[in-house]
Structures are given as structure tokens and as C-alpha cells.
Structure 1
Amino acid sequence: MRLLVFGQSGQVATELARRLPAGVSAVFLGRDRADLMDPAACAAQIQGCDAVINAAAWTAVDAAEAEEAAAKVVNGQAPTAMAERCAALGLPFLHLSTDYVFDGSGLRAFQPQDPTGPLGAYGRSKLVGEIGVRDSGARHLILRTSWVVSAHGANFVKTMLRLGASRESLNVVADQIGGPTPAAAIADALLVAAKAMADGAAGGTHHFAGAPDRSWADFAREIMAQAGLACRIEDIPTSAYPTPARRPANSRLDCTGFTEAFGIRRPDWRAGLTEILRELNA
């Protein structure tokens, strides 16, 4: 199987490159070859492959508040153009999305068919991409995930390790709940789904996030414990840590449909964290 992957240095793209199974080859397109601010040029790159994965995105949540138009090009128009090209060529298109397309209300896990209602520009830009992919006519997989972490790139684990090594305590938000998701697990899930879809499987909109659901504060405590750091984590409400973009309080995602469709269960993020720390220590 030959894959074309948009993205090269991001967390998921990096793991995809590292985890390609035997019999699978991939071409990775970084910004130098595929500028997502030029959707038509990105779409023109799609050829000579069996499936396309879009692992590239505007992920600067707060910056999107001031640059929503640009975020909508990268997260909305670019994947739409990619999907339309895939539809014309009869190729499956796999696209990563986010829990931020929901409003974060309630306590139950969001199901894929639940009404969307983004709280900010980033979520709105990702929703534009979802709609465009669905309307493209391509056989597609939209995979919503949350709280992505790995040993590379900028993410919560690395921030906590850096701060925890030099401070006695840290204030961390305790009223936002979700499932931390190792980028390695997302990459594995995409590779399984890409193979299945290249062989004719249906796609759709699905959720994939780590288990069990926890608060950011609880996640931080586990990071300190596994890393052997004495830094105390103090619970604070979201209101005590204002940011330009509103964060959803409830980022729980119901992933049962993805398990049923592709046989992939929610990964235990605690085991994933152990692997991340092992790699960082190495």
C-alpha cells in the first residue's frame, strides 16, 4: 500500500513515519512541498498512491482567535480541496479533526452524530474542514481526537516535565475533562483504517481518544508520578487560567463506533505516557 501523507514534522506525522508496517510505503509532504495556505496546490500533489492521510493542520488554538481567516484556509479549505481531488481519483481520504468542534457542555461523552457547536475560531475552522470533506464525495474517514501528546513537538507532557523539574507546585485546570491521546496510538489507528479503506471499507465520522477520561490536573499528577518529580499539582478552575480561546469543559468522546468499525480500542494513555517518558529519557 502506498500512502500520501500531508504533514511531516507534527506529532502524528512523525509517528506515522516511524510506525509504517511492512508492505506500506509513504510520501510525507511538509510545508516546503505542500503549503496548506494554497489548497489547490496541495490537491495537485495527490497522485500515485492508494490512500491519502491529512495529518497537517493549524493547531495554534489561541492564535486562531486573531487569525481566523488563515486558520479556515488551513483547516477548512485545504482538506476540502484534498478530499475533492481524492473523490475525482477514487481514493480514500483520512482526515484528523478535534473535540473542539463541540461546545463542551454536559457530562456524557460526545457521540459522532451529536450536534456541533465550536466555542472558538480553531473549532470553527476544523468544522469547516469536516463539512467540506463530507460534501466532497470522497470515501472518507474523519477521525476526531483530543489532547494529543508524544515525545516530540510542543505538548502538555513536555510542558509539565519542564515546569515540574524546577517548581515545587503547579496550578493546573481541574474542571476540563477529556482523554489524553498518544500520537503513536493515533498513527497506528490511521494505518489500520487506511489499509481497510484501501481494501474497500467504509469510513465516516468517528472518535478516537485515550482512556480513562481525566482532568488536566489529574493528567499532570500522573506525569509527575511517572517521571519521579516531587512537584505538587494544585487544582484550579478554568476561570483562574484565562486564555484567548475558550476551551471545552467536556472533551469526553464516545469511541465505540470506531472500535466496532475497525476493531481498534481506546488506548490506555497511562501506558502511552510510560513509553513517551522512556523515549525522552533515552
Structure 2
Amino acid sequence: MTHLISTFNDDDRIAWQKLVLLVGLGVITLLGSFTGPGLVVRLFFIVASGAIAFYLYSKSTPEYISFVFWIWFLAPFFRRFSDYYNGFDDLGIMILAPYVVTLVAIIKLVQNPAQLSRIGYSSFTLALAAIAYSFWIGWLSNPPVAVIRASLDWFPPVVFGLFLALHWRIYPQLKRSIQKTFTWGTLLMGSYGIYQYVIAPAWDVYWMRNAAINSVGRPEAFGIRVWSTMNAPGPFAIAILAGVMILLSYQPPIFLPSFLTGFLSFLLAGVRSAWVG
């Protein structure tokens, strides 16, 4: 095995490192949910996710981007699993992990602020300025926690989009990384989505009852509007639709299982507004 790994190029080695770190993060979080204090597990997940993101950022932009997508795909699942064994967390602090890993990209903006003045990035800078202005207005008239929480829904995606735009020179590598991530992500999320609909796992049912969100269906088998490993049917439908469309664009070796599980779970989500793309 050591000899085999030594024959990989740098990109392959970092890709394997990302896989090992991601799987290790998931395994430790799941095992910790059984045995460890809830707060410790939740904080570990956030800190470890951020540390891995920073490491990958420093080693490989494509693998960092892939890791960001994976954390967005999986963090809500780990939150529900932890809640089931450690008690419902009203704050949902584990959901901070996707924002943390995404905001690692801001390092690029801070290191190269002159690039933001180029005309090609003006739409991003205008969006960031609008968010900053909205944050200031909100801060003056609303509770700070609510303002910060609302800003997290707007600021990180724009920063991440700008980060992608700034790396246009390595577009082929980014494209391959995103294609692979969504191919396997669609297979995993699609498969779990079908399992969720048929079985209604205890942690998902527990979350539905405590979160008191009526729009996700009934907490029973064949009654759930599928949201798979994500936190609601709407975001899941958009993510899985993107995965299905990416699959159609290049048809990888695992096209058929990924497409079938992804498309079926997309339909089971019941988000009709997403059916028209």
C-alpha cells in the first residue's frame, strides 16, 4: 500500500488525504455522539472541519472546494445524529461548520485585495457591499444574534463564488473536482434519501418532532418529504438537482446508480418548484 501511494502524484495524494480526513471526521463524530459529551462532540466537529479546510486550502484549491461541498452535504446529518444521542440542540451549533469551512476562502480575498477592483469581479464586490450595508442597518434595529445569523446565509456564498472566480486559470481542475464531488455526493445523498423515506431513521424522526417543522412531512416511514443528509427538502432538492444535471453532462462510470438514486430522491423531496430547474 505504501509503495502504491508513493506512485501517486501530488494531486492524487492530497485527494486521498482529503478522503481519509473526511471519513475520519465522520467516524469520530458518529462514535463521539454515542460516548462523548454532546457539547464536546459538536465543538470538535466545527473546529476539526475548519482545520481540515484550512489544511486543504493550503495544499490544493480543488480539494478544498470539494471538501466545502461535502461539509455542506453532510453537516446537517451529523447534527441530527448527535442530537438524537445527546439531546436536541436548539441553537444547532454544528451547522456552523459549513459556514466556517466556506469562509476559509476569505484568506484569498485578504491576500489579494487588488484583484477585487477588476471589472470582471464587480458584481461580487457590489454584492458584498450590499450585504455589509444590510448588516449595518440590521445591527442598528435588530438583535445582534439574529443579524449575524441572517448574514451567514448571504455572506459566505458570495465569498465562495468570488473565490471560484479568482481561480479561473485552473478551471479544468476545478471542473473535474466538482464533477467527482457531485457524482459521489449524488449517489450518497440519493441512497440515504431513499432509505430515509422507506425506513424513517430514529434520528431524523427525533429531529422532526423537536424542530416542529410541518413542511417536511410526517415523522413516519413513507410519510417524509425527503431531505436526505441535508437540513430541509428545498436545499436538498437544489443540491441533488445540480448533481443530476452534472451527471448528465459527463456520464461517469457510476452514472446509472448515481442518476437513479439521485433522481428518485429528488422526486421524493416533493419540491415542485425545483422540477422546472
TM-score > 0.5, shorter chain as reference: no
Larger CA Rg, structure 1 vs 2: 2
TM-score for the superposition, normalised by structure 2 = 0.34
TM-score for the superposition, normalised by structure 1 = 0.33
